[in-house]
Amino acid sequence: MKYIAFYFFLMIIRDDYKLLEGDVGSSLAYFFIMMLPLPILSMVLTGAILYFSFKAKHSYVFFLIVISALMVDYFVYTHLASPSNLVNGIYNETVGIVFFVVFFYRAILRKIGIR
């Protein structure tokens, strides 16, 4: 979901809707061949790191692990998908932080001791 939202975010910012125009079959083929491997790699790397972050005993360790997961995701994305435009990595991480907070806000609140 994160990367779908991210790609739509980039379409809006760039005012570039070429992926949505034309033949749907070729657009889906392009998506599965070119765009899907990076999200899968990102999910595996950051998902494993985030899984262990919720196992941390202290909240500061939790935040250090989450920050390291975001950094790994940023460097993977900028190195593999967008080495010429580092701002796209910042956009990607912004969308990632929003999704992380939306989906895990209860666990985050428990981890910092609010609930």
Q: Which of 61, 47, 60 is nearest to 104 (CA)?
A: 47
Q: Which residue has the tokens 């692990």?
A: 65
Q: What is the pLDDT of residues 56-105, one digit of tens each?
A: 888 899 999 999 888 988 888 888 878 888 888 898 889 889 988 998 89
- Number of domains the chain contains: 1
Q: What is the pLDDT of residues 5-51, one digit of tens each?
A: 777 787 788 787 776 666 655 666 766 666 677 778 877 878 888 88
By residue range, what is the domain housing residue 70? Answer: 2-111
End-to-end CA distance of the chain: 27
What average pLDDT is seen over the chain? 81
